[in-house]
Structure 1
Amino acid sequence: MVTPSESKIHALVFSAFRESHGRAISLDDLEKKSGVEKAVVKNSIKYLRESGVEIDIAASGYTLSSLPDIILPPVLQAGLKSRVMGREVHCYKSVSSTNELAKRLADSNAPEGALVISEKQTRGRGRLGRSWHSPSGLGLYFSIILRPQLDFTKMPALSLVAALSICRVLDKYTGEKSLIKWPNDCLLKGKKVAGILVELSAELDRVSYAILGIGINVNDGPNDFPSRLKSKATSICMIAGKKIDRAELLRDFLYEFEKSYSNFHRYGLRFLGPELVKRSAV
Structure 2
Amino acid sequence: MSAPRLLLLGPNGQVGWELRRALAPLGELIALDRDGRDGLHGDLGTPGKLAQTVHTLKPDAVVNAAAYTAVDRAEQEADTARQINAHGPQALAEACRETGSLLVHYSTDYVFDGSGTAPWREGDPTDPLNLYGKTKLAGETAIRAASCRHLIFRTSWVYAARGRNFLRTMLRLAAERDALQVVDDQHGAPTGAELIADVTAQALHATLRNSTLDGTYHLTARGQTTWHGYARHLITEAREAGYPIRVTDDAITPVPSEAFPTPAARPRNSRLDVSELERAFGLRMPPWEAGVERVVSELVEGDGIR
TM-score over 0.5 for the pair: no
**TM-score, length-scaled by structure 2:** 0.30
Report 1 or 2 for greater relative contact order, CA contacts < 8 Å, sequence distance ≥ 6. Answer: 2
**TM-score, length-scaled by structure 1:** 0.32
Larger proportion of helix:
2
